[in-house]
Amino acid sequence: MEDDFAQWYTDVVKQAELVDYGTVRGTMIIKPYGFAIWENIRDELDKKFKETGHSNVYFPLFIPENMLQKEKDHIEGFAPEVAWVTHGGEEELAERICVRPTSEVLFGEYYSKNIHSYRDLPKLYNQWSNVVRWEKTTRPFLRSLEFLWQEGHTAHATREDAEAETNRMLEIYADVCENYLAVPVLRGKKTESEKFAGANYTLTIESLMHDGKALQSGTSHYFGTGFAEAFDILFLDENGEQKPVHQTSWGMSTRIMGALIMVHGDNRGLVIPPRIAPTQAMIVPVAQHKEGVLDKAYDLRDRLQNLVRIDIDGSDKKPGWKFNEYEMKGIPVRIEMGPKDIENEQVVLVRRDTGDKEFVPLGELEERLPALLQEVQQNLYKQAQNHLEETTTTAVDMGEIKSALDESPGFIKAMWCGDADCEEKIKEETSATSRCIPFEQEKVADSCVCCGREATEMVYWARAY
In whole angstroms, what is the distance from residue 95 CA to residue 67 CA? 11
Give me the pLDDT at residue 73, please.
Answer: 77
pLDDT more than 70, % of the chain: 100
In whole angstroms, what is the distance from residue 448 CA to residue 415 CA? 5
Mean pLDDT of 383-398: 97
Mean pLDDT of 273-295: 95
pLDDT above 90 for 430: yes
Give me the pLDDT at residue 69, please.
Answer: 87
pLDDT above 80 for 246: yes
Crossing angle, helix 293-304 and helix 365-390, to 10 degrees? 70
pTM exceeding the 0.85 threshold for the entire prediction:
yes
What are 159-185's pLDDT values in tens digits?
A: 999 999 999 999 999 999 999 999 999
Mean pLDDT of 362-376: 97
Give me the pLDDT at residue 390, please.
Answer: 97
Beta-bridge mates of residue 29: 20
Give me the pLDDT at residue 327, please.
Answer: 98
Mean pLDDT of 231-249: 97
Give me the pLDDT at residue 422, please.
Answer: 97
Question: Long-range contact list for 290-297, CB < 8 A, 24+ apart?
Answer: 290/339, 292/339, 292/342, 293/337, 293/338, 293/339, 293/342, 296/337, 296/342, 297/337
What are 38-67's pLDDT values in tens digits?
A: 999 999 999 999 999 999 999 999 999 999
